[in-house]
Structure 1
Amino acid sequence: MFQFRLLGPIEVILADGRVIEPSSEKICKVLAILSLRREVTSVELLVRELWDDKPPRSALTTLQTYVYHTRRMFEREALTRDGKPLLVTRPPGYELRVEVDEVDATLFEHSVARGRSLLDAGQAADAARILREALALWRGPALANISGGDVLRGHISHLEELRIRALELRIEADRALGRRRDLIPELRALVVAYPLNEWFHCQLIHELRHGGRRAEALQAYQDLRRILDEELGLEPMAEVRRLHLDLLASSA
């Protein structure tokens, strides 16, 4: 068993626990794209990722060299699929033959989808467990040790947005399980980490109110209002404003 890990610095974890790190950023990029797409990836797309819109004349030959070194890395560690190469040439490009659970990013995506389905089905305990396991796959920002081009930046944005959605779903699952008091310190940390995410602020205000901490809830609203005004020149969304009005009415 092995795993390509992209939710943090790019690395390959072998069955014996050893960690392999690709030898160059360009090889990291090739490995990342092939791992994330899990289908035939065209030479054109790989060239665009590696050199944007200014590829050198030697782009095709250089790409082939990167693919060669990637294959050699797999061969040295006996990484195969049923005894055959993991990385194969398939027109119009290359394909990395990996399963869902062999790439942490795709495992994360599938786990979040499963957690959402379980939550929708009223199975909050299982949903919370699956979503916690999914979030634990993250070791830092996605593809943290490379500067992505146009292609990888799209994948990174998708994964980071899905990470936030997984947090939201897991919070909803914990609330359904009655773990509301435990949510407050986590939500305080999340509004610091994601200061412009109004959903996290709204949940913090809501949980403080539910816990009888109206003064703190009112302060949390003022903190959000100040941040939005300073950063974006905006007022909080309607749902948060309604919650603020309810707070004022209940404390009158």
Structure 2
Amino acid sequence: MDIDVLGALAVREGGVPIAPTAPKQRQMLALLALNADRAVPVTDLVEELWEGRPPRSARTTLQTYVLHLRDHIARALAPRAVPAPAPGGNGTPDDAPRGAKDVLVTLPGAYLLAAGAGSSDVRTFERLAGEGYRAMDAASYADASARLTEALRLWNGPAFADVQRGTLLAREAKRLEESRLCALDQRIEADLHLGRHRELLAELTVLTSRYRTHENLHAQFMTALARSGRRSEALHVYRQLRTTLVRELGLEPSPRLQRLLHSVQASAAETSDEALLAAGTG
């Protein structure tokens, strides 16, 4: 089974899509798919679908959703040929193909989506991001940038982009977005170590506009601008961030940002003094 949730929901069994169109059934599948191969308690599914206000028929309705999803799974499994028994034998349990109840498993007080062999974009993202973080720790910046870039390419929009979200999916979407931002931050950091400051300017212009109070992205933008000889613009980025932080959060920039500001100011002053000396000896 192949599972994608970093963007629109897509779940495929044997290459055949199994995601239903009904909103609550998609919501149920999204939670099961995110936790593939792990039991999801019925109480969690009920909480996700009805957010603390379940109808009396909630568990019966949930069972109906499970039956409908199994119908989708069964249709995906139907084209597969049943393997013939071994010559001279009567076959073994391993010969039998998976059925819908083997894919969407009923457990005591829970359901489990058995992914089997296949892919999960979340798990692939987490593996690649972990490799990137370890490369950063080892100062292997080219490897870190490559691994983190590969991880970030798995995202095709916000997590569960076309699924309505209850309490649990909203929390998971927020967690995944934080993980994406962390990977993005570290990839930019790796690229700065590799001297790619000019290549980062366009991207950081967009990111600082989108994340208007994200200090580290603004610090990276200031660094990239200063290293590109655009120190006045770096100072403007700081002033803009400070205005936003004070107005929206009642906070001053962190000491780290203030140290970066002083560094850029000192660098700008030094450059100006050099220009004056050059003019005076010309």
TM-score above 0.5: yes
| Higher alpha-carbon Rg | 2
Q: Which residue of 1 aligns with 2:34?
A: 36
Distance 1:15 1:91, change over 3 A: closer
Counterpart amino acid of 2:153? A
In the superposition, the TM-score normalised over structure 1's length comes to 0.91
Q: Which residue of 1 aligns with 2:276?
A: none
1:51-200 matches, cutoff 5 A: 51-78=50-77, 83-84=97-98, 85-98=102-115, 102-200=119-217
What is the CA distance between 1:161 and its match in structure 2? 0.3
What is the CA distance between 1:65 and its match in structure 2? 0.9
> What stretches of structure 1 of length at least 5 have no aligned partner?
none
Q: Percent identity?
A: 41
**Contact persistence 2:145–2:190 (CA under 8 A):** yes
Counterpart amino acid of 2:97? G
Q: Which residue of 1 aligns with 2:24?
A: 26
What is the CA distance between 1:21 and its match in structure 2? 4.2
For residues 151 and 27 of structure 2, the distance between their equivalents in structure 1, rounded to whole angstroms, comes to 23
- SS in structure 1 opposite 2:77? coil
Counterpart amino acid of 2:134? S
Counterpart amino acid of 1:37? N
Counterpart amino acid of 1:126? D
Q: Which residue of 2 aligns with 1:9?
A: 8
**Contact persistence 1:101–1:107 (CA under 8 A):** no
What is the CA distance between 1:20 and its match in structure 2? 5.4
Structure 1, residues 39-74: CA drift from partner, whole Å, max 9, x if none?
111111111111111111111111011111111111
Structure 1, residues 75-132: CA drift from partner, whole Å, max 9, x if none?
2112999832321112221111126962212222222112111222233222222211
Structure 1, residues 144-186: CA drift from partner, whole Å, max 9, x if none?
1223111111111100000100101111222233322211211
**Contact persistence 1:208–1:216 (CA under 8 A):** yes
For residues 130 and 249 of structure 1, the distance between their equivalents in structure 2, rounded to whole angstroms, comes to 35
For residues 12 and 156 of structure 2, the distance between their equivalents in structure 1, rounded to whole angstroms, comes to 13
Distance 1:193 1:122, change over 3 A: same
Q: Which residue of 2 aligns with 1:49?
A: 48
For residues 164 and 202 of structure 1, the distance between their equivalents in structure 2, rounded to whole angstroms, comes to 15
Q: Which residue of 2 aligns with 1:228?
A: 245
Counterpart amino acid of 2:58? A
In the superposition, the TM-score normalised over structure 2's length comes to 0.82
**Contact persistence 2:159–2:176 (CA under 8 A):** yes
> What stretches of structure 2 of length at least 5 have no aligned partner?
81-93, 270-282
Counterpart amino acid of 1:148? R
Name which of structure 1's ranges 135-144 and 99-108 shifts more when overlaid on structure 2.
Answer: 99-108
For residues 45 and 14 of structure 1, the distance between their equivalents in structure 2, rounded to whole angstroms, comes to 24
Q: 1:244 aligns with which of 258, 261, 264?
A: 261
Give the aligned CA root-mean-square deviation in angstroms. 2.2
For residues 165 and 182 of structure 2, the distance between their equivalents in structure 1, rounded to whole angstroms, comes to 22
For residues 100 and 230 of structure 1, the distance between their equivalents in structure 2, rounded to whole angstroms, comes to 51
For residues 170 and 64 of structure 1, the distance between their equivalents in structure 2, rounded to whole angstroms, comes to 44
